[in-house]
Amino acid sequence: MTQWVYPFGAGKAEGRAEMKDLLGGKGANLAEMSNLGLPVPPGFTITTEACIWYYKNGNDYPPELEAQVDKALEHVAGLVDRGFGDSEHPLLVSVRSGARASMPGMMDTVLNLGLNDRTVEGLARLADDERFALDSYRRFIHMYSDVVLGVEHHLFEEILETYKEDLGVSLDTELEARHWRDIIKSYKAKVEEELGHPFPQDVREQLWGAIGAVFGSWHSARAKTYRKLHAIPEDWGTAVNVQAMVFGNMGETSATGVAFTRNPSTGAHEFYGEYLVNAQGEDVVAGIRTPQYLTRVARERAGVSAPSMEEVMPQVFGQLTDVYKKLEAHYRDMQDIEFTVERGRLWMLQTRSGKRTAKAALKIAVDMAAENLITREEAIKRIDPASLDQLLHPTLDPKARRDVVTKGLPASPGAASGEIVFKADEAEKLKAAGRKLILVRVETSPEDIHGMHAAEGILTSRGGMTSHAAVVARGMGRPCVSGAGALRIDYATETMVVGGRKFSAGDIITIDGSSGEVMAGAVATVQPELSGDFGTLMVWADAVRRLKVRANAETPQDAATARKFGAEGIGLCRTEHMFFDEARILAVREMILADDEAGRRAALAKILPMQRADFVELFRIMAGLPVTIRLLDPPLHEFVPKTDEEIAALATASGLDAAKLKSRAADLHEFNPMLGHRGCRLGISYPEIYEMQAQAIFEAAIEAGGIAGSPVVPEVMIPLVATKRELDLLKARIDTVAAQVSKAKGQSVNYLVGTMIELPRAALMANEIAQSAEFFSFGTNDLTQTTYGISRDDAAGFLDDYLRNGIFAIDPFVSLDVDGVGELVKIAAQRGRATRPDVKLGICGEHGGDPASIAFCESVGLDYVSCSPYRVPIARLAAAQAALMNK
């Protein structure tokens, strides 16, 4: 018989931390903590398999489930000496979701389940606190009705607010037991009015309703959005954790809190967190009350007077310290814990690996390796390469003038400028139009996730360091300033006022998530610091990786950035990018629109010295590292003047007839330029273009070699090859140019000639092509376009539909499609090497900077990856991880 239910509590459990897939992260860790002997309220976990079964069987439960739940519930009741539905000693439980991957705030929770008109009286007697019992009951009715029964949240809030107004009070704490009785009556009446039947008094009906709601929330819109953003499969399902309630809201000796075993923002080795006296756990996470610090040091550093837990309840704090140290040592990672203190007794409700900023992750990994808690290889594996992106982008220039208008909490590091936007939907829309935005909210909720993703940064007026906004922003690598309480935000007029200054939607502001500062206008930035922990980890990564990492760069600035980030060469210099310069575009246009070869050669002669100078500079910066130069690739019409003014300017500059230029420009129009007259097809039709480029490359190599005192060996790359013959024809011309340059300069030039593999046919014919190509560079952007038949420029029209329908797990232009495009890469690598065992193999599409794609490149044994300069460190780390994975 399938075991659908795993109990835990009282120092033992049937589950273990490793059983995350089956029990979800929360359930597995509750079991693990129980086994470690930590104080965990007893409970049980219904497996993710039960959820999967539920969805596969038309939202029905496995037949054995009910009996297993009953048995587990009895066991829990026994351990705490209560009875579920017992009017004297009522067992109350929490029901929480818990999937394999942490999905913070995305799944629904029900607390205080088991309360009804009878048990609430029992609870009042047991706790000797009628007000507490009634408060718990009204919370339960509210939460259960909202989450399980679908009665809208605000209906209950309105009842409460009206009641308080009528009573003339403003705080919940001013309400007494008899007031809660009235309110409970109104709540129940409202539920019956809304649903046509009363609030369930049967505690078993309550429990199964909650279990169903947890399963149901797996397919809620916001859970789906989260999974889409985080590439979590739809078919994992969630577990359900049913656990005896403990109460942080049983007066001043009770409390609830969340903590990290190290600082999740900086990585500092310090206990870090917040707590609230006399509150339930959800109160902290929701960011409704501003919580207090855990440690005295933290409180003092923040200059806050509200006492820390360390000061208020030193004994329990001492216990908590023992627990967190034990947990970190046991899990060998920084933990994110939740706890409740019920009348002076500590209960652990959760532990899990804590989310952290990239900077913190780096520091924690390097520190833990130094502490011998983990190995260097583990440290390497611990860092999500993509997260490094956060560290590699500019921060605010300390010397730049800052018009600081207010300060909030430094909730997620990094700085960003952008237009103010107040609504998530609007943010998403404007982002699609290429705008840079700062999302400004009173507080954020899961409904805002798409807007947070679209924004450059997030600013909230409420909530702490562990509020929804803070946690999600850190996960996304977006800068965030939270709890900037001086802000007055008015959604209706789309304005915010602070310190007497008014800002409207569209105004530019800057936030610094590392300092909490909010500034008017845009502020200049500086390059990130690449030494310290970052440098240490990079050294470790470089020691284990096999793949070389190059950069895609054309400009001296990009090349310099690439070297600074550790690029071992240039894998793709797109020569056409050198053509858009104001000073050159006229000559380029003259070349393109020339009537004949003579006209083109005349224009090319003007371009030659500029190209040569570009290459000299590039070779000089790269100082002997390999530089792969791709000859002209894009459809010529990309350079074609579009407006009459541009044509007139060109006519004047070139002395050519404007009408003729216009007609020639029209001739160059293509229906599908991506599949048109571009790449080596230009070289075949207009060999003089490639000849000029080859001449510039070889002359520059000689000149730069002379400056450096050592020879430069350029790698000349022919784009969009589909047949060996194309390569042969063009290689012959390049060889001829090399011989001519060599003769003219009296100096030999060494060079390689290779090809992009970016068409399915080229991949299939790699055995033939490798007879002539000394290297292959996989252009996986184009290869993805042709293999899938999808234009990256036009995919937006259906990409969302494809992600939503599970056709794409991830945009194939972001992460390489291993099954389809990957097979072609594999075929090409095998066939290429079969012909020429030492053919150099690299990848230079956007995928070259994507960790999953880099893992694939390692698995097929490519020699290098090439990516944008800022992604070079990501690639270095990902390559190291891939090497470790393949070990």
Verify binding: residue 448, a copy of itself, rule CB under 8 A.
no
CB of 448 to a copy of itself, least distance (A): 24
32/11 Cα distance (integer angstroms): 10
Instruction: Show the binding pattern over residues 74-113: x = contacts a copy of itself (CB under 8 A), - = does not.
Output: ----------------------------------------
Binding segment (CB under 8 A) for a copy of itself, from list 171-179, 227-235, 263-271, 716-724 = 716-724
User: Rule CB under 8 A: which of 653-712 touch a copy of itself?
Assistant: 670-677, 679, 681, 684-685
Whole-angstrom CA distances from 44 to 5, 23, 73, 242 are 7, 10, 8, 5
Q: Which is nearer to a copy of itself, 214 or 756 (CB)?
A: 756
Verify binding: residue 233, a copy of itself, rule CB under 8 A.
no
CB of 198 to a copy of itself, least distance (A): 38
Q: Is 554 within 8 Å of 866 (Cβ atoms)?
A: no
Q: Which is nearer to a copy of itself, 15 or 679 (CB)?
A: 679
Verify binding: residue 58, a copy of itself, rule CB under 8 A.
no
Candidates 563, 733, 723; CA nearest to 631 is 733
Verify binding: residue 816, a copy of itself, rule CB under 8 A.
no
Bridge partner residues of 418 (DSSP): 509
Per the annotation, the verdict on 51 as an active-site residue is no
Verify binding: residue 794, a copy of itself, rule CB under 8 A.
yes
Verify binding: residue 802, a copy of itself, rule CB under 8 A.
yes
Verify binding: residue 726, a copy of itself, rule CB under 8 A.
yes
621/615 Cα distance (integer angstroms): 10
Instruction: Show the binding pattern over residues 757-786: x = contacts a copy of itself (CB under 8 A), - = does not.
Output: -xxxx--xx----------------x--xx
Task: Select from 824, 825, 880, 883 the one that contacts a copy of itself (CB under 8 A).
Answer: 824
Verify binding: residue 729, a copy of itself, rule CB under 8 A.
yes
Place of tokens 């991949």: 763
Bridge partner residues of 272 (DSSP): 260
Task: Select from 722, 734, 770, 854 the one that contacts a copy of itself (CB under 8 A).
Answer: 722
Query: Crossing angle of helices 644-654/658-667, nearest 10°?
Result: 120
Q: Which is nearer to a copy of itself, 65 or 843 (CB)?
A: 843
Q: Which is nearer to a copy of itself, 114 or 635 (CB)?
A: 635
Q: Report which residue type is found at 533.
A: D
Whole-angstrom CA distances from 717 to 694, 704, 751 are 10, 19, 11
Verify binding: residue 149, a copy of itself, rule CB under 8 A.
no
Verify binding: residue 805, a copy of itself, rule CB under 8 A.
yes
Verify binding: residue 177, a copy of itself, rule CB under 8 A.
no
Q: Is 16 within 8 Å of 31 (Cβ atoms)?
A: yes
Task: Select from 707, 725, 885, 886 the one that contacts a copy of itself (CB under 8 A).
Answer: 725
Q: Which is nearer to a copy of itself, 16 or 677 (CB)?
A: 677
Verify binding: residue 810, a copy of itself, rule CB under 8 A.
no
Per-residue tokens: 788: 């899938």
- How many residues touch a copy of itself under the rule CB under 8 A: the total is 47
Bridge partner residues of 629 (DSSP): 573, 716
Candidates 212, 209, 193; CA nearest to 201 is 209
Per the annotation, the verdict on 844 as an active-site residue is yes
Candidates 819, 647, 659, 631; CA nearest to 716 is 631
3-state SS, one letter per residue, for 292-337: EECCHHHHHHHCCCCCCHHHHCHHHHHHHHHHHHHHHHHHCCCEEE
Q: Is 545 helix (H, G, I), strand (E, B) or coil?
A: coil
Verify binding: residue 39, a copy of itself, rule CB under 8 A.
no
Q: Which is nearer to a copy of itself, 119 or 787 (CB)?
A: 787
Q: Which is nearer to a copy of itself, 303 or 789 (CB)?
A: 789
Q: Is 272 within 8 Å of 294 (Cβ atoms)?
A: yes
The DSSP result for 689-724, as a single string, is: HHHHHHHHHHHHHHHHHHHHTS----EEEE-S--SH
As a whole number of Å, the end-to-end CA separation of the chain is 39
Q: Is 301 exposed, middle or buried (0-12, 13-18, 19+ CB in 10 A)?
A: exposed
Helices (H), 148-262: 153-167, 177-195, 203-217, 221-230
CB of 593 to a copy of itself, least distance (A): 14
Catalytic-role residue among 573, 680, 844, 857: 844
CB of 232 to a copy of itself, least distance (A): 17
Side-chain-facing half-sphere of 62: CA atoms under 13 Å: 18
Q: Which is nearer to a copy of itself, 343 or 669 (CB)?
A: 669
Q: Which residues bind a copy of itself (CB under 8 A)?
A: 670-677, 679, 681, 684-685, 720, 722-723, 725-726, 729, 758-761, 764-765, 782, 785-791, 793-794, 797-798, 801-802, 805-807, 817, 819-821, 823-824
Active site residues: 468, 844
